[in-house]
């Protein structure tokens, strides 16, 4: 797919067909972990791929699927539990080439969480490129999920990405219209050079032209 087509198809889907996804496709999507950005190449990303039906149903239970209008976590044929190991970042930034005045940097933001968001986006884009749909759910009962999947104590669970074939009614026209009506103007979100009002930006552009 062309990138513009992939980007246009990027949305959170909560309605799937139960049809299985080919194993090679699942592995290709999971392999994006090797391309995911991480501060200083810390490589703190972790992933548990779940396709077994019984395990998927248990993961859905721990993610409290019952909170939603209909089942979707347990229906999606592939669940990818995204995790991150913060210690990998500290390990990397206490190496000689990353020390500042002999000390680890003062982190301006917890980049392990920032990088996890970037990794989630890679999973989504790879799945969409394969003609699939994706969603994301947080997990409140994280300790139980970690015990179920054998996730080590030093790996934090970020959430669960769902992957599968979308139902024909995956995105209702009314939902699309509602979201479009809520979309904020680009000028309210993007500022150029300084944080000036959108109309001031346009005036400056006219004068520059």
Strand partners, 46: 83
Three-class SS of residue 79?
Answer: strand
pLDDT of residue 199: 55
Hey, what domains does the chain have and what are their CATH numbers? 3-170 (3.40.109.10), 172-209 (no CATH)
Rounded distance between C-alpha atoms, residue 160 and residue 20, angstroms: 18
Give per-residue pLDDT as tens, 153-175: 999 999 999 999 999 888 766 66
Residue 198 has pLDDT above 80, yes or no: no
Q: Kind and range of the H or E element at 135? A: strand 133-137
**What is each CA distance from 4 to 9, 28, 99, 126, 128, in whole angstroms?**
9, 21, 40, 13, 12
The whole model's pTM is what?
0.86
Mean pLDDT of 92-112: 96
Residue 7 has pLDDT above 90, yes or no: no
Per-residue b/e over 44-63, b at no fewer than 16 CB within 10 Å?
Answer: bbbbbebbeeeebebbbbbb
pLDDT of residue 4: 80
Give per-residue pLDDT as tens, 48-73: 999 999 999 999 999 999 999 999 99
- Helix 142-149 / helix 53-62 crossing angle, nearest 10 deg: 160
CA dihedral 33, 75, 56, 48 (to 10 degrees): 0
Residue 141 has pLDDT above 80, yes or no: yes
């Amino acid at each position: 797919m062309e990138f513009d087509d992939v980007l246009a198809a990027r949305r959170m889907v909560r309605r799937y067909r139960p049809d299985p996804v080919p194993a090679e496709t699942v592995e290709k999507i999971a392999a994006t972990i090797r391309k995911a950005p991480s501060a200083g190449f810390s490589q703190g990303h972790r992933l548990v791929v779940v396709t077994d039906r019984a395990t998927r149903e248990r993961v859905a239970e721990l993610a409290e699927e019952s909170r939603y209008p209909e089942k979707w976590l347990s229906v999606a044929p592939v669940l990818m539990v995204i995790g991150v190991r913060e210690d990998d970042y500290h390990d990397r930034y206490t190496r000689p080439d990353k020390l500042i005045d002999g000390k680890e940097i003062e982190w301006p933001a917890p980049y392990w969480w920032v990088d996890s968001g970037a990794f989630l986006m890679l999973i989504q884009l790879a799945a969409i490129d394969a003609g699939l749909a994706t969603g994301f759910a947080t997990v409140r009962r994280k300790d139980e999920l970690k015990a179920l999947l054998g996730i080590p104590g030093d790996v934090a669970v970020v959430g669960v990405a769902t992957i599968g074939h979308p139902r024909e009614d995956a995105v209702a026209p009314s939902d699309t219209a509602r979201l479009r009506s809520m979309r904020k103007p680009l000028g309210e979100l993007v500022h150029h050079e300084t944080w000036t009002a959108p109309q001031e930006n346009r005036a400056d552009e006219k004068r520059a032209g």
